[in-house]
Amino acid sequence: MPGVMTKTTPTLLSAPRLLLALGLAALPLAACSNSTSAAPGATASASAPAQAAIIVEKPWVRSTEGSKDTSMTAAFMNLTNPGDKDISVTRAESAVAGRVEVHEMVTVDGKMVMREAKNGVVVKAGKHEHLAPGGPHIMLMQLKQPLKVGEEVTVTVHFSDGSQQVLKAPVKKFTEEQDTYHTHEASTPTPQSSSPQPSTSSQPSTSLQPSATPHDDHGPSATPHKH
Amino acid sequence: MTPPDPTSRRRVLGYLGAAAAGAATAGGGVAYGLGAANRGDDRAAEARRATHRAYAPHGDHQTGIVTPTPAVTEVIALDLEPATDRAALARLMRLWTGDIESMMAGQPIPGDTAPEMAQSHVSLTVTVGFGPRVFALPGLQAQRPVGLIDIPPMVHDRLDPQWNGGDLVVIVAAEDPTSVAYASRRLVRDAESFARVRWVQQGSWRGTNSDREPVTGRNLFGQVDGTGNPQPGTQEHDDTLWARAENVPAWFVGGTQLVVRRIEMNLDTWDQITRNEQERAIGRTLDTGAPLGKEREHDELDLALTGPDGKPMIPMNAHARLSHHSQLGGRRIFRRGVNYTYPRVVDGRMVPTSGLIFLSFQADIAKQFVPMQKVLDAGDQLNDWTTAIGSAVFAMAPGWKPGEWVGQKLLR
């Protein structure tokens, strides 16, 4: 017989309560470091101090099915920082990608564009940060294989507190206009670089070439960035 | 126990409730119990509640089969795209499992474009099944459950192809149309790479009385509909519904078979007969649903009772008599009906269309449903006012545990 979930009390979880929830639910997982839950969409174990570690949930990776450029895609997730110190996503790696970068969103000449987040993406103490289309994300580049809808991709995310989390992220179809996250900051200086031409859906930015110069000072994802 | 004010437990965390959601995700079933432990809920009272439920998706059987029928049900049949093979179907089931686990917990799914729509305690259930053609896919031919057959043509059928068949079914049920629309859209959207929608049937049910207590509910003829279902917790209930190891491929143990019949009901001609005639057609009273000659809804039928005229109290062609297990060699089904009604505009006039989406669950369609339906087709007086216009059959996957996915044993 199906079990029945009981009501939850409607409070905005404060940090202590949140830790209580974590302690009850997540610590058993943390105890078996690097084991992963097979449940689709579930987050995997935290290998770092359980207290104040970032909570990662609902990770997913965009499928390459139907993409114009199948050499790259992005991973998205919801992050919660239950602690009292800011923590950043500093870098990530995945076996499916030759290179992985953490990207942020900035305004350039009145237009939101993406670029590599040299200092990582900050999750402020006691706050949430969503890595989502149109916002910060983890860019998976130099893909070694097409990513089919419904597959599971393992992504390891590293944080500024020294912790890391191994995520099992389902591959899903992109349901928004691709341009919303494909528009990246122009990487090749041009005469118009001070006022970049707006990208159009028919002409998405080509700045995401994995070998584009601004990224050249970064090694493959296996080599940690210095921050 | 008076049910607490539902608004008091409304989730205010919403999309930003990553923490609570994260705990639930990481801890699996553990987190579901937190609220009860804190609040000291009366679990028995909770289990009797018909509304504001938050069902856990895991178990031996899927939810949405014997769980109370909430106000809104949407049944969606899909056809596999030609390229969808066993491996692709497995990927879809993994995706759907993640979606179902998230949404039933009131959480947005990964990549949700409308995450604020996810709400807990809307009694959401999602139930997944496989149509016959799945078992024609390479690698799956030996896995077809015995008894999963299309319903043979019946004399009273007027089947319309738009309501027939399907390779997959997903039944989404909740307390309000908005919650159902949200869940259905997310599921269909995630299936886009694998399958096309074939038909959608939407229905409603009033499963509570004015005191918000669960009741059997009524179809649009006004009949109490579903009284004869075997009661959960009994041997006959389990025997009726769940496939057993000795009869089916191993993957299907704990599964059940579904017949979806779309039954048009002619309310105009039904209204033209007297109340007494209506009750004799069904074999039960209209007020309480008690068998004719008895007092209460759940009184057992006495088919031997005769009236003052010496004739059977429950006529020989009454629906309740013909469909009674004693008349069918012990065969039973578990029915879960939902009503449909909508107006069509015909030549400037509103013409109501009404009927019943008849969901019949049983362990073996060929052994249970088909013999029963043949008897009813031949003699049920209700045939005068009812016409089947759609028919489809599905093997409803067994339940799954945390960390597993629906249909895993079939498709992995």
3-state secondary structure A57-74: EEEEEECCCCCCCCCCEE
Q: Quick check: A39 pLDDT over 80? A: no
Instruction: Tell whether A170 is within 8 A of chain B (Cβ).
Output: yes
Q: Which of residues A179 and B228 earns the better pLDDT score?
A: B228
pLDDT grade, residue B6 (50/70/90)? Answer: very low
Averaged pLDDT score across all residues of chain B: 90
**What are B164-206's pLDDT values in tens digits?**
999 999 999 999 999 999 999 999 999 999 999 999 999 999 9
Averaged pLDDT score across all residues of chain A: 69
Instruction: Tell whether B68 is within 8 A of chain A (Cβ).
Output: no
Interface contact flag, A3 B30, Cβ < 8 Å: no
Q: How far apart are CA A220 and CA A162, in angstroms?
A: 20
Q: What angle do CA B202, B205, B206 make, to 5 degrees?
A: 155
Q: How far is C-alpha B254 from the chain's CA centre?
A: 16
Q: What angle do CA B149, B124, B218 make, to 5 degrees?
A: 70
pLDDT grade, residue B50 (50/70/90)? Answer: confident
Instruction: Tell whether B232 is within 8 A of chain A (Cβ).
Output: yes
Q: What's the pLDDT score for residue A184?
A: 52
Instruction: Let me know if B225 is a catalytic residue.
Output: yes
Beta-carbon contacts of A203 under 8 Å, excluding residues fewer than 6 positions away, are none
Q: What's the pLDDT score for residue A92?
A: 98
Nearest CA in chain A to B402: A39
A 10 A CB-CB count for B198 gives 20
Model confidence, pTM = 0.80
Nearest CA in chain A to B90: A150
CB contact at 8 A, A61 and A169: yes
**What are A183-195's pLDDT values in tens digits?**
555 444 444 434 4
The helix, strand and coil proportions of chain A, stated in percent and rounded to the nearest 5, come to 10, 35, 55
Q: Quick check: B398 pLDDT over 80? A: yes
Residues on chain A touching B16 (C-beta within 8 angstroms): 128
pLDDT grade, residue A64 (50/70/90)? Answer: very high
Residues on chain B touching A38 (C-beta within 8 angstroms): 403-404
pLDDT grade, residue A178 (50/70/90)? Answer: low
Interface contact flag, A9 B32, Cβ < 8 Å: no
